Amino acid sequence: MFGRLLLQLLRGSRGRLAVALIAIVSGAAVISALLNLDLDVGSKLTQEFRTLGANVVIAPSQSQGSSPAKTNVAASLSAPGLMDENLVLQQMKSVKTAQVVAAPYLYVIARADKTPVVVAGTWVDETQRLSPTWKIEGNRVESRDDQAHALVGRNVARELHLAPSSEIALDYLGRTAKLTVAGIVDSGGAEDNQVFVNLVVAQQLSNLDRQIGLVQMNVGGGSKNVADVAAKLAAALPDYDVHPIRQVAAAEGALLARLRLLIFSMVALILVLTSLCVLATMAALAIERREDVGLMKALGGSISRVVGLFLAEVGVLGAVGGTIGSIVGMVLTRWMGHRVFEATISMRWEIIPLTIALMIAVALAGASPLRMLGNVKPAVIFRGE
């Protein structure tokens, strides 16, 4: 009986309910998309921030009594401030995941054509992932075993009149290395003044076999993961100094907090607007239904039963609207992911029941005008007042 009445009611005022349904569906779609985005925006933003470069650095410890200004610089040949390549790389394997990009560095101040120039020995093939913002004119160096090619900073190229495929001879205390310039690097920073060669070349040039001065790492997965990786490495390499570069983490954290707050405010505002929309429709419905209610009451229906019937109707509306809206929201999320981040936003299924519950709550809140029906006096209605 209750079910049949409900069905009749839903069918009876299709047009009216369609407006409320549209409001609920669009509200649910936007809210579920925004909640999904909110849960994923952290990892997306972290991904974007990785182009800022290294966020963890492994350097020789200062307590070894080295001359501080010369640390990381092989020029102070007595070999303090250097690290054992094998030891460091072995330990780095333990944290090596897809989220970690790392490269060792050995700096040598060599001479090229009598001009002192900083030679950075590293895995040149890894620079593409570690410093994706570099603009390179010419070719990259594709292998870390390539001992014949080098990347040259913009200022070095200008000073020494180098172009891709020209020759550069590096000299360090009588040892020389002859290389071909593969490409010119434009970074806007100190790298513009450096020559990038593979680690082996720098080690041979400085006669520091299997020694490195610095490891730069780019760890993804948010500031917590960065801290975890740094702590793990610090425990594994007690003789060296592992420190995260906090500047990036701080900026990322602040931006993320603001963004999430903004998304939440929008969700709240849209919820208010959706319930307003339902409220308007239900007010109209209540006016239209006064006669039905009068009839029901005249036939002996109790107030609670009549209002209960209407509330059930609204609840169904909220549930149906919420379900359709969540599905539309999934599509919207995919579109937003591609439009904004050029990546897929991972779907969170727990958002669907949450959205449906929210929509039922909004619909019931919007149905408050139906309570006016409780005061309807059948006699007055039938008299046409």
Partner 1 sequence: MFARLVGESFVRNPRRKILTAAALVVGMAVATATLTIALDAGDRLAREFRSLGANLLVRPQSDTLPVEIGGVDYRPVDEGAYLQDADLGKLKMIFWRHNILGFTPFLDVPAILDVSEPPVATTVIGTWYEHDVPVPDGTHFRTGLKATHPSWKVTGKWFADDAKECVVGADLAAAHPDAIQVGKPIEIGSSIVSQVRTPLLVTGIVSTGGAEDQSVLVPLSVAQELSNHPGQFRQLFLSALTKPADALSIRDPQSLTPTEYDRWFCSPYISSISYQIGQAIPGVDVHAIRRVADTEGRILSRISTLLWIVTLAALGAAALAVAATSATTVLERRAEVGVMKALGARNMIVGGIFLAEQLLLAVVGGAAGYLLGILLARALGQSVFGVPGSPRMILFPVVLGLAALVAILGSLFPLHRAAHFEPAAILRGE
Report the site for partner 1 in 111-140 (rule: CB under 8 A).
115-118, 131, 133-135
CA–CA distance, 211 with 207 (Å, rounded to integer)? 9
Q: Does 163 bind partner 1 (CB under 8 A)?
A: no
Contacts of 62 (CB under 8 A, 6+ apart): 68, 71, 241
Query: Which residue, 146 or 249, has its beta carbon nearer to partner 1?
Result: 249
CA 354 to chain centre: 23
Task: Choose one: 161-169, 284-292, 319-327, 345-353; the region binding partner 1 (CB under 8 A).
Answer: 284-292
Query: Which residue, 44 or 297, has its beta carbon nearer to partner 1?
Result: 44
Minimum distance of partner 1 from residue 139's CB (angstroms) = 19
- Within positions 66 to 85, which residues make up the interface with partner 1, using CB under 8 A? 67-73
- Of 200, 382, 206, whose CA–CA distance to 291 is shortest? 382
- Within positions 40 to 69, which residues make up the interface with partner 1, using CB under 8 A? 45, 48-49, 51-53, 57, 62-63, 65, 67-69
Q: Does 265 bind partner 1 (CB under 8 A)?
A: yes
Query: Which residue, 137 or 145, has its beta carbon nearer to partner 1?
Result: 137
Q: Which of 148, 262, 331, 379 binds partner 1 (CB under 8 A)?
A: 262
Tokens of 148: 């014949």
In DSSP notation, 302-362 reads: -HHHHHHHHHHHHHHHHHHHHHHHHHHHHHHHHHHIIIIISSPPPP-TTHHHHHHHHHHHH
Q: Are 224 and 30 in contact (CB under 8 A)?
A: no
Minimum distance of partner 1 from residue 41's CB (angstroms) = 8
- Of 335, 273, 282, 276, whose CA–CA distance to 307 is shortest? 282
SS (HEC) of 289-318: CHHHHHHHHHCCCCHHHHHHHHHHHHHHHH
- Within positions 293 to 322, which residues make up the interface with partner 1, using CB under 8 A? none
CA–CA distance, 105 with 198 (Å, rounded to integer)? 9
CA–CA distance, 365 with 36 (Å, rounded to integer)? 24
Task: Choose one: 121-129, 164-172, 254-262, 312-320; the region binding partner 1 (CB under 8 A).
Answer: 254-262
Q: Does 181 bind partner 1 (CB under 8 A)?
A: no
Query: How many residues sit in the footprint of partner 1 (CB under 8 A)?
Result: 84
Minimum distance of partner 1 from residue 179's CB (angstroms) = 17
Q: Does 270 bind partner 1 (CB under 8 A)?
A: yes
- Within positions 233 to 252, which residues make up the interface with partner 1, using CB under 8 A? 243-248, 250-251
Rama region for 237: left / alpha / beta (φ>0; ψ in -120 to 50; rest): beta
Q: Does 258 bind partner 1 (CB under 8 A)?
A: yes
Angle formed by the axes of helices 290-298 and 303-336, nearest 10°: 140
Query: Which residue, 29 or 146, has its beta carbon nearer to partner 1?
Result: 29
Q: Does 277 bind partner 1 (CB under 8 A)?
A: yes
Q: Which of 5, 100, 234, 273 binds partner 1 (CB under 8 A)?
A: 273
Q: Does 355 bind partner 1 (CB under 8 A)?
A: no
Q: Are 366 and 61 in contact (CB under 8 A)?
A: no
